Amino acid sequence: MSTDLPPIGLGTYSDDNREQWREHVRVALDAGYRHVDTAQGYDNETYVGQGLADADTPREDVLVATKVDTENLAPEDVIASTEASLDRLGIDRLDLLYVHWPVDTYDAAETLAAFDELVDRGLVERVGLSNFTPALLDEARDHLDAPVAAHQVECHPLCPQEELRAYADEHGHRLVAYSPLAKGEVFDVPAIRDVAERRDATPAQVSLAWLDANGVAAVPKASSAAHLRDNLAAPALDLTDEDIAKIDSIDREYRVIDPEWAPWNR
């Protein structure tokens, strides 16, 4: 598996019907996806693992990522819960393991020492962080022996994350966008619709292509095989400088995920 992340991966969060992810993962992998993103808190790792096993794609060709839940960030719980995630997923190594949120039981020194231990034991290939601020990223980098491979945050044209994109470029990790379509909010933005109509593409493809043009990987979820294929094809849409400038000029901000306890609200 490459040390970089594919531009489009499969996000697997849902409020209910966790069982659906067995079939969605299988279909996605057979369609060409090579990055599957889940989390302990999604309560679907077993079904994601079944989808991995059902697909014809060799395991070594797929980047599998999960995230340690906030209640499991004490060092002994990091180890035990990650071993449990591996069991549920039916694999012997995680390609990427994230701290899901730096809250609750998170302690930079102790939590990240446990992540380093998992890397040293060969259970985890790469360490990721999620929902961190620049200050928290600085602190994490001070404590980690392993390099930060990825930082996952909400990112889309209505939440462009310029500071965190610049931070990722400066420090050599990949920014990964969850909710990259803002739960459909991007579909009705006039600037995005205009670019989509001119380029014979969908608003979803334009938004994902905008992320790719800015060096951001994305993990959209999709409800149908057609949407899976459309999302996977988005990076082939070569946006012009004019297209990107039009999207960059959108004068609206919107976050899907914005709890009061989020690090950026404290």
Query: Got the DSSP string for 46-83?
Result: HHHHHHHHHSSS-GGG-EEEEEE-GGG-SHHHHHHHHH
Distances from the Cα of 253 to the Cα of 95, 104, 219, 221, 250, angstroms: 33, 28, 20, 22, 8
Q: Write the secondary structure of 155-166 as one string of H (helix), E (strand) and C (coil).
A: CECCECCHHHHH
Angle between helix 225-233 and 20-31 (nearest 10): 40
Catalytic residue list contains 178: no
From the candidates 33, 42, 47, 178, give the one annotated as an active-site residue: 42
Instruction: Kindly state the tokens that stand for 73.
Output: 């960030």
Residues contacting 167, CB < 8 A, separation 6+: 134, 137, 151
Instruction: Kindly state the tokens that stand for 226.
Output: 């057609």
Annotated active-site positions, please?
Answer: 42
